[in-house]
Amino acid sequence: MREPLLDPTGDSEREINTTLMPRPGSLRGLTVGLLENTKPNAVPLLQAVGRELTDRYGVREVRMFRKGYFGTPVEENVIQQMLRNCDFAVAGIGD
């Protein structure tokens, strides 16, 4: 009998999936959300990443968001704003 093999990690059932999301393929015309965690130099590094993405890869818009405190999860309203306004996200910096 043909049946799918089950995933023992529970990832396939969880709302948060650790497998990668469908990939955009091209960044042309997309909006990137940059999430900085208040660590020193997080903002300038992310801004530089944003400039690379717009200059070389066709990203249309860069938006910067801030995490309230580096040690705790990102706030729900920040997540919602990123979801509403951005096509993908880059966060930094863990150190």
Give the one residue of 29, 41, 60, 68 binding another protein; rule: CB under 8 A: 41
Tell me if 77 contacts another protein by CB under 8 A.
Answer: no
* Cα separation, 20 vs 39, whole angstroms: 26
Tell me if 54 contacts another protein by CB under 8 A.
Answer: no
Closest C-alpha to 37, from 73, 63, 62: 73
Closest C-alpha to 66, from 55, 75, 56, 54: 75
Give the one residue of 29, 38, 48, 60 binding another protein; rule: CB under 8 A: 48
Residues 6+ apart with CB under 8 A from 71: none
Minimum distance from CB of 52 to another protein (Å)? 5
Tell me if 68 contacts another protein by CB under 8 A.
Answer: no
- Contact residues: another protein, CB under 8 A: 1, 3-10, 15-18, 20-27, 33, 35, 39-42, 44-46, 48-49, 51-53, 56-57, 67, 70-74, 79, 82-83, 86-95
